[in-house]
Amino acid sequence: MKNLFRQAGLDEPIVHALGEMGFETPTPIQEKVIPHILQSSEDLIGLAQTGTGKTAAFGLPVIQQCDLDSPQTQILILSPTRELCLQITRELKHYSRYLGTLGVVPVYGGASAQEQIRALKSNAQVVVGTPGRVLDLLNRGKLRIGNISRLILDEADEMLSMGFKDELDAILEKAGSDRQVLLFSATMPKAIGQIARRYMNAPVEISVGRKNSGAENIQHICHLVRPRYRYQALRRVIDAHPGLSGIIFCRTRRETREVSEQLMQDGYSADALHGDLSQSQRDIIMHKFRLGHLKMLVATDVAARGIDVNDLSHIINYNLPDDPEVYIHRTGRTGRIGKKGIAVSLAHPADTGKIKAIEKLAGKTMEMQKLPDARQIVENQILNYTEQFARAGENQQGQPNLQRFLPQVMEKLQDMDREAIIQRLISLEFNRLLSDYEDAPDLNADAHQNAGKRKNGKDPSGNKNASPGKSQSKTQRKNRSRRKEAREGMQFARLFINKGKKQQLDKRGLMTMIGHKVNNHSIEIGHIDLQNNFTFFDIDARYENQILKAFKNARFNGTPLKIDRAKHQPHAT
């Protein structure tokens, strides 16, 4: 059978390594870029996102053309993050497995420079680095790029948005004039054009379209939920997809921390990835995630940059991002080459404008779905468990260790019939889930008026021409009146808390904190009077004692937090 990688001009040792890695056919960007690099010295701009196979697109031809008899650095690859550097290095090492002694050296900040300098002294034909560390090593004379044949800028837009413009300029200045520049970017901001004009020579442009090749495999689902129930909605999504492994994107570090802590408390396999973590903490989390010991990463966009995990079943947007490009970036991490992926977004009814912008950019319609209900969730879990159970049985039968204990087990269960055993097993396993979902409330925000009417691609507000601004105020009005109705007849208690604006308490933070502490995000909170150093707030009186108890010995931003019953109580509504 014809091998299309061989046809593209790649040599046997590389084709063989690709075969072992399961690469059967080149992706569209590889089809275009590999022959260009092998045959031409012209500069190139490749418009492609992560997940399109662009690392192999530039990596395969450049390693093929390396002079293995010379230990000098011939190729410099710049990439925005440490993770991406390591990922590129790993890939190149795999591809060059049968090539002989090709040295690929990653250099990045946040780790000892000494070891990297030592590695650069031996075989370092290819150097993969972050701009800051590369410039540092250049300035210290530890890395020489005057004679490189190729300079590759990977994820150039990310490097610019991370503030590496000056470093890139300085590195490009230092690279000798006789080098081919290959620039890859998912988007084309103006600053890329400037780099191209200044440092590239009439570059050829190659584009594989806006969407990454995996985008076709991604199912985009959107649930409209009331902000207050966002966390519970997240739990429903997770519970409805047993075996889910993915990233939950949050807006802020604080939200990342809150959501991950709450998930852990609720028994989920999750951890946070945010900017406050040290490199080694981050490494430990990523290691666990890669091994599959950790199922969910809760991350901000910045912290998730360069995460090199390809087997994600789900991307969950805890909120929809303001920028549709960010949505495309996030969700492009699932549904990678040949695999199916699911992107689930928890949106607010007022997010119509954002949803439309995303649909336009992705060229796909979001499926507006109701949140999975209790029945669906329990059914999915039980069926998944049963399947696993049936499969595990096949492997376990021959276990000699197990055989030893079986007679005692059989004896204990001898009076129970098959049905009773199964029933007991299932109920033991699912007791908590079943009770959690007993009488579970409907968390869909205005499901009938919004989600239902979106069929045929119409605006969720039901008004084809409604501007986002208009639909927002209409929805807000509706939400206000719904909340008012819910409060009719409710008895409120007023509580005092010894924190206020000066201690960075805000209304949303207060509501989230209460929800987390008492493990119930649906407690009705009424008026909140936020002052500089203290706050009064009204709360569904049925939960007063529970809240007072939960906050005993509590702390807020490192200082003691006190909640007491206020002297003046509200009148009943």
What is the contact surface with ligand AMP in residues (CB under 6 A)? Answer: 23, 26-27, 30, 50-56, 91, 310, 336-337
Which residues are CB-contacts of 386 (< 8 A; sequence separation ≥ 6)? none
**Shortest distance (Å) from residue 338 CB to ligand AMP:** 7
**Shortest distance (Å) from residue 476 CB to ligand AMP:** 41
Beta carbons of 17 and 60 less than 8 angstroms apart: no
Distance between CA atoms of residues 311 and 341, nearest Å: 9
**Shortest distance (Å) from residue 329 CB to ligand AMP:** 13
- Closer Cβ to ligand AMP, 182 or 505, answer by number: 182
Going by C-alpha positions, the residue among 485, 381, 375 that lies closest to residue 439 is 375
**Shortest distance (Å) from residue 271 CB to ligand AMP:** 23
- Closer Cβ to ligand AMP, 82 or 336, answer by number: 336
Going by C-alpha positions, the residue among 123, 183, 113, 179 that lies closest to residue 146 is 179
- Closer Cβ to ligand AMP, 77 or 196, answer by number: 77
Distance between CA atoms of residues 190 and 193, nearest Å: 5
- Closer Cβ to ligand AMP, 54 or 348, answer by number: 54
Q: Token digits for 260?
A: 């991950």
Ramachandran category for residue 240: left, alpha or beta (phi over 0 → left; psi -120 to 50 → alpha): alpha
**Shortest distance (Å) from residue 413 CB to ligand AMP:** 47
**Shortest distance (Å) from residue 486 CB to ligand AMP:** 48
Planar angle of CA 504, 505, 508, nearest 5 degrees: 125
Which residues are CB-contacts of 300 (< 8 A; sequence separation ≥ 6)? 249, 250, 251, 252, 253, 256, 273, 274, 275
**Shortest distance (Å) from residue 346 CB to ligand AMP:** 27
**Shortest distance (Å) from residue 19 CB to ligand AMP:** 11
213-to-29, 52, 491 alpha-carbon distances in Å:
9, 5, 55
- Closer Cβ to ligand AMP, 23 or 551, answer by number: 23
**CA atoms in the 13 A half-sphere facing the CB of 360:** 8
**Shortest distance (Å) from residue 74 CB to ligand AMP:** 21
558-to-509, 554, 561 alpha-carbon distances in Å:
15, 10, 9
Distance between CA atoms of residues 299 and 250, nearest Å: 6
- Closer Cβ to ligand AMP, 212 or 260, answer by number: 212
**Shortest distance (Å) from residue 431 CB to ligand AMP:** 40
One-letter amino acid for residue 131 of the chain? P
- Closer Cβ to ligand AMP, 55 or 317, answer by number: 55
Please state the three-class secondary structure of 412-441 as a single string.
HHCCCCHHHHHHHHHHHHHHHHHHHCCCCC
- Closer Cβ to ligand AMP, 55 or 180, answer by number: 55
- Closer Cβ to ligand AMP, 52 or 232, answer by number: 52
- Closer Cβ to ligand AMP, 10 or 378, answer by number: 10
Distance between CA atoms of residues 275 and 286, nearest Å: 14
DSSP reduced 3-state for 342: strand
Burial (CB < 10 A; 0-12, 13-18, 19+), residue 560, is exposed
